[in-house]
Chain A
Amino acid sequence: MKIDYRSGNSIKTQIPLDYKEYLKRKEDKQQQQQQQQQSTQPTGAITYKRKDRLDEQFRQIFMKTGIVTQASGSCYLEIEKTKVLCSVYGPRATPKTELFETAKLNCELKYATFSSNKEKFDYLENTKEKDQSLIIYQSIIGSLRLDKYPKTVVDVYILVLNDDGDVLVSAITAASMALADAGVEMYDMVASCSAVCIKDATLINPTAQEETLTEGAGKILVSKMPSHNNITQLIQTGELNYNNVLESVNLCIDGSDKIYSIMKQNLIDSLLRQQKKDGDGNEINGITTNAADDQMEE
């Protein structure tokens, strides 16, 4: 039984667009048509210049673990306006015995209905959410030592509160942090970075506006475990030439290394906070946290 809460409203409603934007789009379309009439070669690509930061510059990142008290581990992550919350439950025992040797990882991403002012999100899971859930799943599953927890389930839930671009990167990073916070054994945390290619420019950490600037723009997403120097996932969509791909993958790898250092610092900070709370001399459980300490010493 799935209930749509809005069945109380029988009136069809829509999100209105901005009038200025509408006029501008109309003009652009006319211009394009004129250009197409003049020359047979399409000149689709739009030049775009970032105003407030460099092309390879990241927006401000804020993250905090241990936000959700009911969860085993959680992380709240903000990349300026993009806001994501992730909580992890488990590993918990499951009555289903189909998966005998390893733990099962469930990954669920949900957009809040008010997270976007262009797209409508329903209360039921739509294909976009399903798709992105799978991407996140594939990014982090390689880093986890699920064989340590036979016959159990680990649940990862992600809620997107505000979508201003780069949701996937935020979600993957938050999920990995939350898993570390929950004390699930892992080889390394997964850091992620994405880029959009518009004409010749490669824009790291794009905003929602930059993501939707051109249809079919080349997009690159890299997730990696920096201390192993392993890439767990590499996604390329849209039209890109070979050199562009190489260049943007390299940029993304550098970007994720930077994110990784922030993640590590945050985790250590949260540990120290916890230690203070527990009182000095108390033993801290959780293997990942020790691993993070070891890495610091290295």
Chain B
Amino acid sequence: MDHHQRWRPTVNEREFIERALQSDLRVDGRRPFDFRRLKILFGREDGSAEVQLGDTRVMGYATAQLVQPYKDRPNEGTLAIFTEFSPMADPAFEPGRPGESAIELGRVVDRGLRWWSPEIAVWESRAVDMESLCVVAGKHVWSVRVDLHILDNGGNLIDAANIAALAALSTFRRPECTVGGEDGQQVTVHDPEVRDPLPLTIHHLPIAVTFAYFGEGNIMVIDPTYKEEAVMGGRMTATINSNGDVCSIQKAGGEGVMSSVIMQCLRIASVKAADITSKIKNEVNSYTSAKALQKVKRLPASALKKDNAPDVAMKEGSDVALETQSTKASSDGQQINKEPPSVVKDNKQEDVEPMLTECNPEAQSESRLTAGESDEKQEVISPKSLKDAVKPKHKRKKKQHKNS
């Protein structure tokens, strides 16, 4: 549908933004070289991260599978970045094929991570070590895929997507595999429950920092919002790491910018990159240590295979959830929380009612209502013969279904 287009400012809005910038004022109250607030949340699974940069939201999800390597690089794994502008993010984004800007975004993030030149390929300066992803040279290598889902377009998608990709890759774990068999070509992939999955080897974090230029290229701001993006004359993204190495610079047309301004931008970018790097590292460290704690808790109940430890990162704000969940975890016999042990015992002996009292007193009284009503439920005994006849076939069918 052509009714909804990219947000276009009115003449007044455009003038307001431009005039304010001339006196170093931005519409959201930031100074020209301030980033918006950065928040990184991690999902339940390894390798999933959600980044919020102001109102911009991007979710990164890293997965891997064993594939045959490219012929010209038999001992290197592969890394692919997939981006699609979900229609969720902006009314202008349409479902279907990724648009021009989606491809540009993917390429900029990709090039930042893939910083290397073929002539000096032995350099260990690429962000993700591809050779460590090799299992059997020429036969099996890991192919890592990062899906970047743009959830909310508040402007400056490139920087947010880049951070999401880094956060996802930093927490990603691939299953351990060993090579064996008679010919030494047999690959065994170990279950993550049996052997701890391995992290990727990441040498450095290349951070994308985007500048927007206004006027004749003499006014610049960092981390533009979508409103500023609609007004700006040009844009430059510098991907730089905390050491100050420039990994990529993207400036696709737009207003011409003096080289002295570019130099100034790069100096600012390297300071910002150091800030963001430490932010990502801190968040990743606290996530991994929380994960490690969960593992300790889970061990005694390993027979259950299912861990019910709380998801700390994703459920900020819902303290009640954490409390109830940790109570549940403690019924494995491990006392980690301050809840009196009697509660746990009660749970086992009678029913799970005491749990309810603490989380939702109202729910308890209402649950009685339902209890009274379910009195009338009849015992269900399904005919065994029918079930037995169908079971194996059904099982097979379901597995195929899951795989597809």
Note whether A and B form a binding pair: no
Report which A residues bind B (CB closer than 8 A).
none
Report which B residues bind A (CB closer than 8 A).
none
